Structures are given as C-alpha cells and as structure tokens.
Amino acid sequence: MFSCQFCKRLYRALEGPCCRHCWHALPLPIKRCTQCGHALGEHRCCFKSSRIISCATAFNFEEPIRGLIHSLKRHLDTASGELLCRAFVDRVQQIPDNAVLVAVPSHPLRRLIRGYCPTQWLAENIAKKLALPYTNGRVKKIRYTKSQKRLTQIERQVQTSPFKWVSTDTSRPVILFDDVITSGQTILNMVQSAPNDLQIYVWAIARTSEYRYTDTH
C-alpha cells in the first residue's frame, strides 16, 4: 500500500501513480491537435508546416499538475517530480520506433544557479521507466535568455535560436521533451537549429490552454 501524495489516502500500487479518486481528478486534456498539442477549435496549429511529426502532451497546465511542476523546478522536490514521471508514463500511448529522448536543455549559467536542469531530470527518469534511450549532450543552449514574462508571443518568435545541436546524427528519430509547452517557440527554436534530415517528435508533461505561463530553461 502507498500513500497518495494528493489526498494522503492509502492505495494499491496497481491503481497508478496516485489513488484512483485523485487520478480521475487530474486535468486530462480534451481532444488536441496531434501536430502541436493545442485543444482543437481553440487555436491555429502553432507547429504547422514545421518539421515536427507529432506532439503529445499528457495534461492541461492546471492544478495539481501546475503545483507539481513548480515544486520540482523551484525547489527540486523529487517526490513531485517522481509523481509527474509516473503520471506521464501512464499517459504515453505510442513510442516512435528506435527513437532517442532529448530534453530541452538549460543554459549552463541557469543550471549553475539552480544546481540542476528540471527538464533533463524529468526526461532521464521517464526514459528509465520506459526503457527508452536518452541523451543530454546532443543539443546545448549556448545563449543565456532572460525571463520572458513581459514578452508577447510575437516578440518570442523574432528571437534567434539559442540552441546548438552538437550531434548531426540523423539515423534515429528524436523525441524532444519539455515540461510545459506554451507558445511552442522553445521547441520551434530547437527544431530550427536541428539537422535537416532529423525526424522529430515532441513530448511534454503539460500544455497551457492559452499564452499565459512563462518560464525559462
């Protein structure tokens, strides 16, 4: 028996990452665009005409998922991170054949300040649970970006990509992993600088329903 992190009730491990009652209360997404992850009918596809094959997100960026992500990113709350990983793995429906998981990296300065990279922490643990190949050195963030809280979506789009791909290997597809997708510009910046023939999929823990959540890696 395990103690549910949300309600503290005891539950059987076979029920999932939390008790059945809390699992059904999680903010599961409605039908979404398979290209960018936005809810159908709410937005135009923000990845349309890009090189991204598909995008899969597990949850809406709402409580309690929002709180778990903030706890991991701001306080290295590994218990929250573990619950996010288990919940995400339970929601994975399809894994691209022969793919390698690649996390959105933090800039070295931000990683030094935090002491870790939240997206890499999540990706590494998810990869272990799915027995999926993972690498954290394939792409690097070479330019430090300040907080983008006051930037509009258009202002983010005109920024040059701060990412550089170290490896030019295109023999295996990659799954780009991020914790939260908002405007999608971070992912598009990574795709922009990726090798031309690379097959790219996208995974994320959560997707915002509108352009309101901002954070930096």
**pLDDT for the residue 14:** 55
Give the predicted TM-score (pTM) of the model: 0.84
Is 24 in contact with 191 (CB distance < 8 Å)? no
**pLDDT for the residue 96:** 93
Confidence of residue 143 (pLDDT cuts 50, 70, 90): confident
Is 57 in contact with 29 (CB distance < 8 Å)? yes
The full set of domain ranges for the chain reads: 29-207
Query: What average pLDDT does the segment 127-136 reach?
Result: 94
**How many angstroms separate the CA atoms of 25 and 100, rounded?**
32
| Distances in whole angstroms, Cα of residue 99 to Cα of each of 102, 162, 170 | 10, 24, 11
Mean pLDDT value across the chain: 83
Condensed to tens digits (0 to 9), the pLDDT of residues 44-95 reads 666 765 789 988 889 999 998 999 999 999 888 998 999 999 999 988 888 9
Q: What is the 3-state secondary structure (H, E, C) of 19-40?
A: CHHHHHHCCCCCCECCCCCCEC
